Amino acid sequence: MVKAAFLYGKEDLRIEEMDLPPVESHGLLLKILACGICGSDARMFFNGPSSRYAIPVLPGHELSGEVVEMGPQLEGYALGNLVTLAPIIPCMRCPACSRGLDNLCVQAQVIGCTVPGGMAEYVSVPSQMVQAGGVVKLPQSVDYRAGAMSELVGCCLHGLQKMGVETGDRVLIIGDGPIGLTFLQLTKLMGAGWVATSGRRPRRRELAAELGADKALDATVTDLKTHFGPSLDRVIVATSNVEATREMLDVVRPGGSVLLFSGYLAGSSFDLPLNNVHYRELSLHGSIDCTIEDFRRAVSLLPVLNMAELITASYPLDEATTAFYATRDRDAVKVMLEP
């Protein structure tokens, strides 16, 4: 029997014992070392899990762990390997998967939603995940805490690949949470010439400046439209705030592009002035999760990123509920569980 955190409903998380399924022939068993609380986990905790999922849900998809048991036919891994997991297990056969869009697989199993996630002492990784390439060894110089941030990097890389970044671009990132601060590092790495962030919490603005933001704007006092006008090459929306999202249209230049990265509360919308998009030739991109390929690339980039700096608090599994509330602390950036 091992301990895990089960979400039964809105703000109702319980630490319970569970049996682990036997390790599959090409599968493996991971002892979880770290599991981050994603914005999507927090939304599920504070709003209650979707009725599409079997309740209780075992959340957590931003994880790293140590291989402690291997299936009899598993090759390419060894006991003691530190690894991280892609966030979804694609079927690899459906039309989306065949086009390399396995993040859009309709039959995908989603770690921490439809299959048990990382807020547990152990997780059993099925053969299908190993065979899809979603179990990735951490580079030697990367520790397990930074390793647990791989999924953020993978999802941001996926979005950037959709939107494109060119050398010298002027970029604004609306939202300076863990995702915004990851976009900041990646856009710089990809050659953007000037990158600004906009957010509400002082600690995050400090961190943005430390991580190389050319400007870390205080969203509580800065009107983006007045500040920038329609001048920016790329605008990335990394906040679920609808009002802040609407501002993207005021600051992107003609011919520029915007990336809608965040998830919103169900039903969120705003009126889109169609001629603003038509006459100004704007490109709007959506982005969700990442492909296995994006994820593998993300892990290989970890040595040149400062992902561990985004971790502001860690809690043991027994204090998982406290950890969820801590995501709302003024100074919090990324909150981790370290079972």
Give the interface with Zn ion as residue ranges (CB under 5 A).
38, 62, 90-91, 94, 97, 105
Which token pair is 128? 């299908």
- Which of residues 39 and 256 has its CB atom nearest to Zn ion in the complex? 39
Q: Per residue in 237-257, is it b (16+ CB within 10 Å) or e — as a string?
A: bbbbbeebbebbbbbbbeebb
- Which of residues 57 and 97 has its CB atom nearest to Zn ion in the complex? 97
Which token pair is 205? 């603005």
- Which of residues 62 and 169 has its CB atom nearest to Zn ion in the complex? 62
Pairing of strands 28-36, 12-18: unpaired
8-state DSSP, 20: P
CA–CA dist 201, 199 (Å, integer): 6
Rounded to a whole number of angstroms, the minimum distance from the CB of residue 182 to Zn ion is: 10
CA–CA dist 5, 34 (Å, integer): 14
Asked whether 86 and 130 are in contact (CB, 8 A), the reply is no
Q: Determine how many CB atoms are found less than 10 A away from the CB of residue 316.
A: 11
- Which of residues 169 and 176 has its CB atom nearest to Zn ion in the complex? 176
H/E segment holding residue 157: helix 150-163
Asked whether 115 and 88 are in contact (CB, 8 A), the reply is no
Rounded to a whole number of angstroms, the minimum distance from the CB of residue 227 to Zn ion is: 30
Q: Is 194 helix (H, G, I), strand (E, B) or coil?
A: strand
- 216 CB contacts (<8 Å, ≥6 apart)? 176, 196, 197, 199, 205, 206, 208, 209
- Which of residues 236 and 252 has its CB atom nearest to Zn ion in the complex? 236
Rounded to a whole number of angstroms, the minimum distance from the CB of residue 72 to Zn ion is: 27
Asked whether 135 and 129 are in contact (CB, 8 A), the reply is yes
Rounded to a whole number of angstroms, the minimum distance from the CB of residue 38 to Zn ion is: 3
Rounded to a whole number of angstroms, the minimum distance from the CB of residue 149 to Zn ion is: 9
- Which of residues 94 and 190 has its CB atom nearest to Zn ion in the complex? 94
CA-closest candidate to residue 290, choices 140, 133, 174? 133
Rounded to a whole number of angstroms, the minimum distance from the CB of residue 93 to Zn ion is: 6
- Which of residues 183 and 228 has its CB atom nearest to Zn ion in the complex? 183
Rounded to a whole number of angstroms, the minimum distance from the CB of residue 178 to Zn ion is: 9
Radius of gyration of the chain from its Cα atoms, rounded to whole angstroms: 20
Rounded to a whole number of angstroms, the minimum distance from the CB of residue 33 to Zn ion is: 17
- Which of residues 95 and 202 has its CB atom nearest to Zn ion in the complex? 95
Which token pair is 166? 């060119």
